[in-house]
């Protein structure tokens, strides 16, 4: 079963809507220069909510080979939830993906596994593809509890979903100690957990489902580290923060498939 690699750029709270137009244009040029082949990998930008309309308009008008998505979604349908953004609103803006449970949301907005589960339920029900973020902090890693910790987050996020729904989700393993720190998990560290996640999905939902789910690694990914990650059997892409704000660097990351490591894409 071949899973289409996904290269996703999470802009976080950077880039206003005017700057977003410039960044997407530069990225489009860089993708052209680096001969990005959309049949080999899916390339996705995830700007702040307020940029989405500008990004959508530009990508559609110029037919740029990019998908776009949002950094969060409400677990509620609509109504009196000041500050929240609904799945319907994101769909209307052409979003196909949404990040759910990023460690920065879990940390600064106290999002629990329960909330992550609810947001995942809502996104799937509406037809948005959730990118569910999981991963341990430094304390858990030092205690060598990172695998059970991460698997418990995966199981909690997906509880009560059907196998058909689970087959559609994307899981991003992002060890918190590697986010924005320049401290990259080694490809072996990343594979250990991504492989364990796939094993857990197989145990809970069967092999067919686990073979379909794309599992990403995230945490200080750069053009210089992408190939060693992508050649690992259970790493199907990356969630890139800082480096996604540099269009040349991000476009170079999308070119991982030119360096083969025995894995075919
Ligand atoms: P980083 O962020 O690439 O800047 O470490 C990754 C993420 O948080 O998604």
Of 214, 221, 170, 231, residue with least CA distance to 9: 221
Measured in angstroms, how far is the CA atom of residue 89 from the centroid of ligand 1?
25
Cβ-based neighbour number of residue 80 at 10 Å: 6
Measured in angstroms, how far is the CA atom of residue 229 from the centroid of ligand 1?
15
- Please name the residues in contact with 249: beta carbons below 8 A apart, sequence gap of 6 or more: 222, 223, 243
Buried b (16+ CB within 10 A) or exposed e, 217-253: bbbbbbbebbbbbbbbebbbbbbbbbbbbbbebbbbb
Q: Is the whole model's pTM more than 0.75, yes or no?
A: yes
Ligand 1 proximity of 10 Cβ (cutoff 6 Å)? yes
Rounded Cα distance between 28 and 128, Å, is 24
Given the DSSP bridges, would you call strands 97-100 and 6-10 parallel, antiparallel or unpaired? unpaired
pLDDT tens for 118-139 read 999 999 999 999 999 999 999 9
- Please name the residues in contact with 67: beta carbons below 8 A apart, sequence gap of 6 or more: 42, 43, 44, 45, 96, 97
Measured in angstroms, how far is the CA atom of residue 206 from the centroid of ligand 1?
30
pLDDT of 260 strictly over 70: no
- Section 211-231 average pLDDT: 95
What's the pLDDT band for 2 if we cut at 50, 70, 90?
Answer: confident
From 7, 10, 134, 244, the mutation candidate for ligand 1 (largest count of ligand atoms within 8 A of CB) is: 10
From 70, 180, 224, the mutation candidate for ligand 1 (largest count of ligand atoms within 8 A of CB) is: 180
- Section 168-183 average pLDDT: 91
How much of the chain exceeds pLDDT 70, in percent? 98
Tokens standing for residue 117? 């589960």
Show which residues are catalytic. 102, 174
Residue 87: phi, psi to the nearest 5? -60, -40
């Amino acid at each position: 079963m071949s899973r289409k690699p996904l290269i996703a750029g999470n802009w976080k709270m950077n880039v206003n809507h005017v700057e977003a137009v410039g960044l997407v244009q530069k990225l489009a040029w860089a993708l052209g220069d680096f001969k990005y082949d959309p049949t080999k990998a899916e390339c996705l930008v995830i700007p702040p909510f307020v940029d989405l309309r500008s990004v959508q308009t530009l990508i559609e008008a110029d037919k740029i080979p990019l998908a776009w998505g949002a950094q969060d979604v409400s677990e509620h349908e609509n109504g009196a939830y000041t500050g929240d953004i609904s799945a319907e609103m994101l769909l209307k803006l052409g979003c196909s993906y949404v990040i759910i449970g990023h460690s920065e949301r879990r940390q600064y907005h106290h999002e629990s596994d329960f909330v992550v589960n609810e947001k995942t339920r809502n996104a799937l029900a509406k037809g948005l593809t959730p990118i569910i973020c999981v991963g341990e902090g430094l304390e858990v890693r030092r205690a060598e509890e990172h695998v059970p910790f991460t698997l418990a987050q995966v199981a909690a996020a997906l509880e009560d979903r059907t196998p058909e729904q689970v087959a559609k989700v994307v899981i991003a393993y992002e060890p918190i100690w590697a986010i924005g720190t320049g401290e990259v998990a080694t490809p072996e560290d990343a594979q250990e957990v991504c492989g364990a996640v796939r094993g857990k999905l197989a145990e809970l939902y069967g092999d067919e489902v686990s073979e379909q789910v794309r599992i990403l690694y995230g945490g200080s990914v750069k053009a210089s580290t992408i190939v060693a990650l992508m050649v690992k059997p259970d790493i199907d892409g990356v969630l890139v923060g800082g480096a996604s704000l540099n269009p040349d660097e991000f476009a170079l990351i999308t070119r991982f498939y030119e360096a083969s490591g025995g894995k075919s894409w």
